[in-house]
Amino acid sequence: MPAATRRTHKPASTPVPVRFGAEESALLRLLQARASSQSRSVSGQLKHYARLAMIAEDNPDLPLSMIQGILEAQAELKAGLGQPYQWGVLGPSR
């Protein structure tokens, strides 16, 4: 098969069961509520929190709000919404 028509396949993701015991029922309800409020599945919310936690552990000096802002900016750039910064140009005067 020619290289131009060859398709690359991502490996199938492996489901990982996460069980919440009776003592974690409040945590599960909170997780479900936050997932719902952010239009995510519970699994998606867990992945989101795991990603934030890993970044926070690797960068203990960064506040969570800064980490979230960086992730949002990366997503905006990936979506083609980035604009070059104009050095020395201030915004409108108030």
Q: Name the residue ranges covered by the structural domains of the chain.
A: 28-78
Extract the tokens encoding 61: 């000096």
Q: Cα angle vertex 40, ends 43, 79, to 5°?
A: 115
Q: Please classify residue 40 by burial: count the beta carbons closer than 10 Å to its beta carbon, then call 0-12 exposed, 13-18 middle and 19+ buried.
A: middle
What pLDDT digit, counting tens, does each position of 27-85 carry?
Answer: 999 999 999 999 999 999 999 999 999 999 999 999 999 999 999 999 999 999 988 88
Q: Which residues contact 27 (CB under 8 A, 6 or more apart)?
A: 20
Other Cβ atoms less than 10 A from the Cβ of 28: the count is: 14
Quote the DSSP letter at residue 13.
Answer: P
